Structure 1
Amino acid sequence: MKRPLMLFREHQSALDQAIFFAQFAEPGDICFCVGAGGAGKTSLAQILGPMLYGEQSSQQSGTKPFILVSLDAADRAYFSSKDFIRSCLLELGDPFRSRVEDVSRWELAPEIKQRLVRLTSLHSSRSHGEPEMRAAFVNLAKMLGVKLLIIDEANMLRLTQKTRVPTDYLESLRRLGDKAGCSIILFGTIDLLGLLGHSAQLNRRTSRIHIARMSCRDECGAIEFTAFLKGIEIDYSITPGLLTEQRFAVHELTYGIPGEIVGLVKRAKMTAGAEGVELEWKHVSKAGHLPMAWKQMITEADLIESTMEGTGSMPDPRADAAHPKRKIRMKPRRTANSKYSS
């Protein structure tokens, strides 16, 4: 089980800022919400919409004030803007994938249902490209009153095809939100930093939020971190005090990143289970990352913190030393035995 999200001030601060942005942003405004891997970005993305507008079941019929989509592209090696639009349409009741009889059963206002039936009868996802799908999303978003588009795993925007530049997608998102009448919040990790500050025109329409790691530098932080560890001990049936009494050592092993703490505990319990013994501190202390991975975890967290807090230089999107961009090969490599090789 995961601990409740609101256990420490860093998360509460990020949530408060995201709520404030959503309430006062104008259509087309974009907010970058960036944190280290395991900082709790997905959890924050999932609760933001319901906290602002209520659960879907409590919303007025025929309305959808927010949608949440993920850019996780496990089935491909690059970001696809068409697949992104398709995901957005699915959240709104995609007319390209629905049948007229399906739309007729939806609980929508009569005038909206009538327009959707007409749209569904005229369109097919097999015969329409991205421009038509974007137009359909804009129309649906306006009809359903979408105010906020929440995008998780937005760092996938950096994984582009050879003919595209990541900032092209950012400009496209801004225009999409402007036309659809909604603001946009991007949740991502270190790769998302490369999209910050790329043009003066977009800079005035963007905000940034840092999802910080937990800190033990002051008494309040130490108390909150201890409370978080107590929750982990309860959730994973760990002997009380095993983690809390070693809170500073746990913080050093995980750098105060919630997801890293959970991963540490899972690895330690796996080792103890394989040995057929109860979990002890020696299992936890040996479950930390290898030195190279531990150093990378700290480097990325520090880079995100310095960039988002404005105390460090903006990373170069073309040469990110901490986390280099993957090269995408769109064509199969020719071999020496190929009949086309020279």
Structure 2
Amino acid sequence: MISIKHRNYVRAGGQLLRCIDNHRPGRLIFLIGVGGVGKTTLRRNVLRAIYGKPAHWQGGMIPCIEVMTLLAENSYFNSRGLAHDCLEQMFVPNIDWLIDDAEARDFHEGGSALSKSREVWAGLSKDVTEIKAWSLFRNNAKARGLKLLSLEHASAMCINHRDKSPAQHIMNIMSLTEDIGAMSLMTSIQNGPKLWEGRSEIRRRADVIWLAPYDVSIKEDRQCFLRMLKSICERYQFRTADLPAKLAPEIAVTTAAVCGEVVNLFDRAAQHASDAGRVEIIKSDIEQAYYPKAELETLWQDVREFWIAYKSHNPAEVSRLATEIWV
């Protein structure tokens, strides 16, 4: 996604930067937001700012890795698969997300150390047990100076067999990273709070960063949305310059004021214009790019779930308990 530096993006980016800079082994950082809000773009921009170019890392050191959390076993999360993927990053690190294409080629093609590392990894048994995989990962992460384990799509850990809870996976990662001397960053959609639900021992060691869409029913948010819309529209050509502003209420509805959805809307509109032999976008191009009812309902349901999770703190319950014990 293109980086659009609007208010919510800048605010969450500053929070993430501070959390990572305040290094505390075993600390958990959760980055929560609906799909398309810019979580991946934000995370990678912050990690680039902190860890810089791999060419500047000390020999053999890997301060940060990123692993995709997958539903690898019959659409269920498999912790052994995660252990294997984390271990693989210690030998064949994929840092394409951290650098541009030219630097990636230099990193992967140059240096005998990486070639030897690939050979070592190729020689390891793919049938290694989960316990052994985590042990090897821990030892290699310590030796390579790992400071941050970044897990994308972390909410996949919520999809388990009945005898396993997501909190068990989180506790394991928390203990593991503390032993290594690293922190973990978990990026998730709006159901991410289920990863720590009901577990105060996880929540008190976690920083939660919410990357929110705009609630255009609030005046300040509406103004921020309009500024974001204007910034996005600079990339496109319109028959009349004020067209996006005139359609702003409809655009807010069909995108739920989610940055990535706005970008995708205008990409679709631009394609409609191109198919009609035009460069300039007209009103009908945008209208044809609106989501059908079913997709629109799904999008808004995701946003509603986000706000429910975001506002889940309960001052009334705290007050009730306080009156019971403070006598």
Q: How many residues align?
A: 298
Query: Residues 86 and 203 from structure 1, CA distance in 2 versus in 1: closer, same or farther, beyond 3 angstroms?
Result: same
Q: TM-score, normalised by structure 2?
A: 0.78
Task: Name the amino acid aligned to 1:11.
Answer: Y
Q: Secondary structure at the match of 1:243?
A: helix
Partner in structure 1 of residue 262 of structure 2 = 261
Query: Deviation string for 1:98-148 (max 9, x for gaps)?
Result: xxxx9x92179xxxx9xx89x949972235211111111111111121111
Q: Secondary structure at the match of 1:151?
A: strand
Name the % identity.
22
Partner in structure 1 of residue 3 of structure 2 = 4
Partner in structure 2 of residue 331 of structure 1 = none
Partner in structure 2 of residue 184 of structure 1 = 184
Query: Deviation string for 1:20-48 (max 9, x for gaps)?
Result: 21122422221221111111111122222
Tell me if the contact between 1:28 and 1:178 (Cα under 8 Å) persists in the aligned partners. yes
Instruction: Tell me, in whole angstroms, the C-alpha distance in 2 between the residues paired with 1:284 and 1:121.
Output: 50
Query: Deviation string for 1:155-197 (max 9, x for gaps)?
Result: 1112224543322212221122122211111111123222233
Does structure 1 residue 154 correspond to structure 2 residue 161? no
Cα RMSD after superposing both structures: 3.4
Tell me if the contact between 1:31 and 1:208 (Cα under 8 Å) persists in the aligned partners. yes
Task: Name the amino acid aligned to 1:299.
Answer: Q
Q: Secondary structure at the match of 2:149?
A: strand
Does structure 1 residue 282 correspond to structure 2 residue 284? yes
Instruction: Tell me, in whole angstroms, the C-alpha distance in 1 between the residues paired with 2:250 and 2:121.
Output: 62
Partner in structure 1 of residue 251 of structure 2 = 250
Task: Name the amino acid aligned to 1:289.
Answer: Y
Q: Secondary structure at the match of 2:82?
A: helix
Partner in structure 2 of residue 210 of structure 1 = 210
Instruction: Tell me, in whole angstroms, the C-alpha distance in 1 between the residues paired with 2:135 and 2:200.
Output: 27
Instruction: Tell me, in whole angstroms, the C-alpha distance in 1 between the residues paired with 2:183 and 2:272.
Output: 46
Query: Residues 122 and 266 from structure 1, CA distance in 2 versus in 1: closer, same or farther, beyond 3 angstroms?
Result: closer
Tell me if the contact between 1:33 and 1:188 (Cα under 8 Å) persists in the aligned partners. yes
1:14: how far off?
Answer: 1.0
Query: Residues 238 and 127 from structure 1, CA distance in 2 versus in 1: closer, same or farther, beyond 3 angstroms?
Result: same
Tell me if the contact between 1:3 and 1:231 (Cα under 8 Å) persists in the aligned partners. no
Task: Name the amino acid aligned to 2:80.
Answer: K
Written as runs of structure 1 = structure 2, the 5 A alignment for 1:68-217 is: 68-73=66-71, 77-94=75-92, 105-106=112-113, 120=120, 124-216=124-216
Q: TM-score, normalised by structure 1?
A: 0.75
Partner in structure 2 of residue 305 of structure 1 = 307
Instruction: Tell me, in whole angstroms, the C-alpha distance in 2 between the residues paired with 1:78 and 1:9.
Output: 36
Instruction: Tell me, in whole angstroms, the C-alpha distance in 2 between the residues paired with 1:244 and 1:215.
Output: 17
